[in-house]
């Protein structure tokens, strides 16, 4: 009896730690994406120092996004079959190495290698961390995914500020100091890994049972729904890439602002995406994820259509609702996909995170070439129509209603 009580106490202790684990994962995600966002924040400096064109700037993003995207589904598939909680800290080690390489990269090929190494760290971190967040969610899947995502968006927002006030005055070599952030993240993620191992031991080595599918959809219908979600991700991340990669160039070229001012304006947009990400998941838990996806992708269209034709003040003002509305979809899309294919949390997370990074990389390369051949303003005029793809949401099944009926 004493042994049984002790075992139950261990399980309760593990459960009680779940919310602190979600916060640790969110904070680590913030540190991870802060370091990653330093790279695009450095683009104006690298473009001037290395005499790069927009196409080469896009290729830097492509190098990062390809390594970040191609391996994520593989990592997710492997960790679904055999969880590797300590891989989180190992992935952060690659980010640390990439930062050190970036601080000493004085040629275009060297920058590409550094970008690819940082992307490799991201490919290991995201799918396993997302799977861990769902494991610690206590059934609040949308909230858990939003907490995890908001850390990443907050980190992406901090990157341009740190670049404006630390990297730009200190030069490219000052990037090396941010490797200390990677060390801190490795310590935190090591603790998360130990929590997972203890939790599994308290449960006798058994993982939580996968959610049983209750939507009663055919395999073909699930496949079509996943294809629609991927199309929506294309719309979302192609547009987000146009902002995160080229917004500073657009502001400098169109309105003649300084690099530092442009970085601060980019922070305004990225901060709005962090807020939108936080509210998207819990709202999906409450009213249904399909409705959140509807409002997020299609609802941003009036603002994107107006942005290329207004002055500086209204450009920054419009960037706020664009970031706020568009970012609310990601948590809803990921959790919706996880519920379409229950029991494959890591695989689905890796697929969608990987696709997001891949679309970001391809988008940056394609839009960079388009900007070289036309103008940076024309890029935003074209991208303004991407949210129309949100109309595809009409063809998604309402799986919350189907589950309730079941």
User: Which residue from 27, 46, 210 is spatially nearest to 134, judged by alpha carbons?
Assistant: 210
The pLDDT of residue 187:
93
Query: What DSSP string describes 10-48?
Result: HHHHHHHTHHHHHHHHHHHHHHHHHHHHHHHHTHHHHHH
**CATH code for the domain of 138:** 1.20.1250.20
How many domains does the chain divide into?
Answer: 1
- Residue 355 domain flag: yes
In angstroms, rounded to a whole number, what is the distance separating the alpha carbons of residues 234 and 344? 22
* Host domain of residue 211: 2-399
- Residue 98 domain flag: yes
The pLDDT of residue 212:
47
- Residue 405 domain flag: no
DSSP assigned state of 166: I
In angstroms, rounded to a whole number, what is the distance separating the alpha carbons of residues 338 and 308? 36
Question: Distances in Å between the alpha carbon of 139 and those of 145, 196, 228, 310?
Answer: 11, 17, 25, 44
The pLDDT of residue 204:
57
Residue 296, both tokens: 């997020």
- Residue 303 domain flag: yes
Q: What is the mean pLDDT of each run of 10 residues along the chain (406 residues)?
A: 42 54 90 83 84 86 78 76 83 92 91 92 83 79 79 79 81 88 92 84 55 67 89 84 86 90 87 81 77 85 94 94 86 83 75 70 80 90 90 84 52
- Residue 404 domain flag: no
Question: Distances in Å between the alpha carbon of 54 and those of 59, 269, 395?
Answer: 9, 21, 37
In angstroms, rounded to a whole number, what is the distance separating the alpha carbons of residues 87 and 282? 28
CB atoms near residue 7 (< 10 Å)? 14
CB 35 within 8 A of CB 184: no
The pLDDT of residue 13:
43
The pLDDT of residue 1:
43
Report the predicted TM-score, pTM, of the whole model to 2 decimal places.
0.66
């Amino acid at each position: 009896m004493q042994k049984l009580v002790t075992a139950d106490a261990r399980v309760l202790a593990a459960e009680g730690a779940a919310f602190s684990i979600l916060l640790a994962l969110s904070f680590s995600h913030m540190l991870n994406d802060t370091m990653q966002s330093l790279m695009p924040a450095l683009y104006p400096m690298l473009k001037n120092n290395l005499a790069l064109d927009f196409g080469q700037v896009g290729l830097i993003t492509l190098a990062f996004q390809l390594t970040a995207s191609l391996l994520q589904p593989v990592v997710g598939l492997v960790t679904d079959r055999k969880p590797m909680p300590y891989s989180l800290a190992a992935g952060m080690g690659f980010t640390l190495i990439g930062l050190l390489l970036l601080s000493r990269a004085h040629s275009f090929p060297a920058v590409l290698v550094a970008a690819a190494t940082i992307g490799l760290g991201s490919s290991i971190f995201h799918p396993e961390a997302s799977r861990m967040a769902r494991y610690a969610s206590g059934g609040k899947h949308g909230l858990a995914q939003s907490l995890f995502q908001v850390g990443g968006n907050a980190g992406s927002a901090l990157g341009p500020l740190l670049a404006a006030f630390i990297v730009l005055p200190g030069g490219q070599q000052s990037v090396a100091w941010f490797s200390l952030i990677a060390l801190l993240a490795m310590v935190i993620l090591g603790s998360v890994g130990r929590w997972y191992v203890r939790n599994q031991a308290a449960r006798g080595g058994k993982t939580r049972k996968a959610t049983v599918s209750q939507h009663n959809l055919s395999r073909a219908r699930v496949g079509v729904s996943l294809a629609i979600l991927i199309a929506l991700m294309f719309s979302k991340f192609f547009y987000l890439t146009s902002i995160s990669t080229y917004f500073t160039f657009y502001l400098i070229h169109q309105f003649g602002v300084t690099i530092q001012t442009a970085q601060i304006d980019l922070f305004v947009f990225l901060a709005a995406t962090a807020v939108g990400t936080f509210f998207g998941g819990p709202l999906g838990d409450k009213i249904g994820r399909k409705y959140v996806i509807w409002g997020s992708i299609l609802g941003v269209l009036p603002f994107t259509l107006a942005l290329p034709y207004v002055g500086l003040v209204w450009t920054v003002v419009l960037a706020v609702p664009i970031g706020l509305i568009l970012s609310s979809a990601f948590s809803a899309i990921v959790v919706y996909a996880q519920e379409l294919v229950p029991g494959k949390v890591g695989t689905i997370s890796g697929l969608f995170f990987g696709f997001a990074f891949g679309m970001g990389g391809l988008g940056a390369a394609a839009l960079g070439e388009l900007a070289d051949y036309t103008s940076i303003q024309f890029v935003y005029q074209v991208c303004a129509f991407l949210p129309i793809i949100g109309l595809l949401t009409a063809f998604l099944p309402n799986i919350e209603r189907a589950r309730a009926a079941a």
